Structure 1
Amino acid sequence: MKIAFISDIHGNASALAAVLHDTRSKSVDQICVLGDLCYRGPAPKRSLHLIRALQSRVIKGNADEWVVRGVRRGEVREDAIEMMNVERDWTVSQLDQEEIDYLHNLPTELHLNVEGVSISAFHATPGSLFETVPPDADDAAMRQKLMSAADTDVYVYGHIHKPFVRYMHGKIIVNTGSVGLPFDGMTKASYAIVQVEQGRVGTSIERVPFAAEDVIREYEEVRYPNAQTMARIIRNGRVM
C-alpha cells in the first residue's frame, strides 16, 4: 500500500495538478490531504474542486479555519493581520456557501492502519491547527507536541512548509512540506509518500516542478490583493 500525504495547497491549483499527476505516475493507492486548501492562492475554487474530486480523506488546516471565520489577533504578526484578512475576504468571495461549509465541517485528524502499521496524521499538532513544530525541534518537543496524543508507528503533519523525515524512539515523523507555497528555498511542490508492504515501512519526500511564473501571472490576472508578496514567495520558495 502506497499512500501520498499532501498538504498546504493554498489555492495553487497548478502545483496541485502537477502533484496529482506525479502521484498517478508513482501508482499511489491512496491520497490523504492534511489541510490549508484554498487561502492565499489565485485559484481557491479550482483547488477545492480538484481536492473534492479525489473523494479522499481530507482534514482541516489553520488556513481553512481562517476562511471560515477570519484571522484573529494573536494568530499572526500584528502588522500582518489586516492584509491577511483582506486576502481572506477575497478568498471567501471566490467560494460559495456550500464550499465554506465544507471547510467548516472538515475533521482535524485522521488515523490509518495499513497492514498492521498505524499512522496518525494532522495539520499542525493533534491539539492545535496553529502550533508550529519546526524540523529542528528537540526530541522532547517533538514527543510532547506531536506524539503524546496517540501511540502510533508513523506521524505525518504539514503546516510548516518545510519537509523532512525523522526517526525517533522507534517512530517515524514525516512533514509533507507544502504543495503550493514551499518555504525551504526549493521552488518545487512537496509531498510525502508512506509505503507499507509486508511489515516494511518506507517514507519519501517528493519534489515536483510546477509552472511558477504562470502562477504569478495568475495572481495578477485575478487581482489578488497581495499579489506582489505572494509572487516573491512563489519565485524564491521562501518567505522574504
Structure 2
Amino acid sequence: MRIAVLSDIHGNIHALEAVEKDIKENSIDRIFCLGDIINFGAHPKETLDWTRENCDIVIKGEHDIFVADPDEVFLSNPFAIKAADWTYDQLSEEDFDYIRSLENFYEERNFILTHDEPSIPGTYHFLTSLRDAKETFTCFENRFCFYGHTHLQIVFVKKNKEVFSEKSEKYHFSEEEQFLISAGSVGQPRDKDPRAGYVIVDTEERYIQLRRVKYNVEKAARDIINAGLPEVFANILKMKKD
C-alpha cells in the first residue's frame, strides 16, 4: 500500500494542486491529512473542499479549530488571529460543521495520525528534538505515527532500543523499526525550502519518501497580499536558504 500524508495546507491551493498532481503520478492508494487545512492562505474554501473530497482520513489542527470555534483554542499571534477572522468570512456554516466533525486523533493497527504531540493530542507541542522523540516512542506501539504542526519534514526511527533522526529523502526500512514522521507542510514550509512538502510511505516496498514539489510560489504570495491578509504569510512562502 502506498500512502500520501499531507499536513499544514494553510489555504494554499496552488501548492495543494501541485501536490495533487504529484500524488497522481505516484499511484497513491490512500491520502491522509493531518490538519491545519485553512488559515494564512488566500483559498481556504478551495483547500477545505479538496481535502473533504480527496482524503481518506482527515484530522483537524488548531487553526481549523480556531476559525470554526475560536473559544476552543488559544492563539496569541496577532497575524494568525487577523487571518482567521478573514478566513471565517470565506466559509459557510456547512464548512464549520465539517471542521467540527473532525477528530484530532486517529488510530489503526499500524498507524497513528495526530496534528501535534502524539502522546497528548491538543497540547500543540512542537516535536522536533531527539529527546522528545525518545519520550514519545514510549507512548505508542503502532508501527507509524504521523504528525504535523512543525512545518518541517522529520523522520525519527526507533530500532531495538536506539532512537535516531534519519536525514535521507528516501529511507528503506526494516521490519523491526518504528517511526515518528513529521509530514512537513504543503502550504507553509518553514525550512527555507519554498517547495510544497508531503510524505509517501510504501508498506510493500518498505520505504519512506520525503517529497518536495515545485509550484507557483509568487502567485500564492500575491493572492495573500491581494486578499488583504498579513504580508508575513506571503513572505514566509518565499524564504530560501542562504
Same fold, judged at TM 0.5 (above): yes
Conservation of the 8 A alpha-carbon contact between 2:65 and 2:73: no
Which residue is 2:94 aligned to?
Answer: 98
- Quote the residue 2:127 is aligned against: 133
Shift of 1:191: 0.3
Report the Cα distance in structure 2 between the residues aligned to 1:2 and 1:67, rounded to whole angstroms.
32
Specify whether residues 38 and 73 from structure 1 end up closer, same or farther in structure 2 by C-alpha distance, changes over 3 A only. Answer: closer
What is the CA–CA distance in structure 1 between the aligned matches of 2:125 and 2:71, rounded to whole Å?
A: 15
Instruction: Give the 5 Å matches for 1:1-240.
Output: 1-70=1-70, 75-76=75-76, 80=77, 82-113=78-109, 118-126=110-118, 127-129=120-122, 130-134=124-128, 137-139=129-131, 141-144=132-135, 146-169=136-159, 170-197=177-204, 201-224=206-229, 226=230, 228-236=231-239
2:172 matched to which residue of 1?
none
Task: Name the CA shift for 1:19/1:73 in 2 (closer, same or farther; >3 Å).
Answer: closer
Determine helix, strand or coil for the equivalent of 2:141: coil
Alignment partner, residue 164 of structure 2: none
Contact kept, 8 Å, 1:35 with 1:60, in 2: the verdict is yes
CA contact (8 A) 1:70 1:85 kept: no
Alpha carbons 1:181, 1:234 under 8 Å: kept: yes
Structure 1 residue runs without a partner (length 5+)? none
Aligned-pair identity in percent equals 29
For residues 237 and 47 of structure 1, the distance between their equivalents in structure 2, rounded to whole angstroms, comes to 24
Per the normalisation by structure 2, the TM-score is: 0.85
* Amino acid in the other structure paired with 1:42: A
Please report the TM-score for the alignment, with normalisation by the length of structure 1. Answer: 0.86
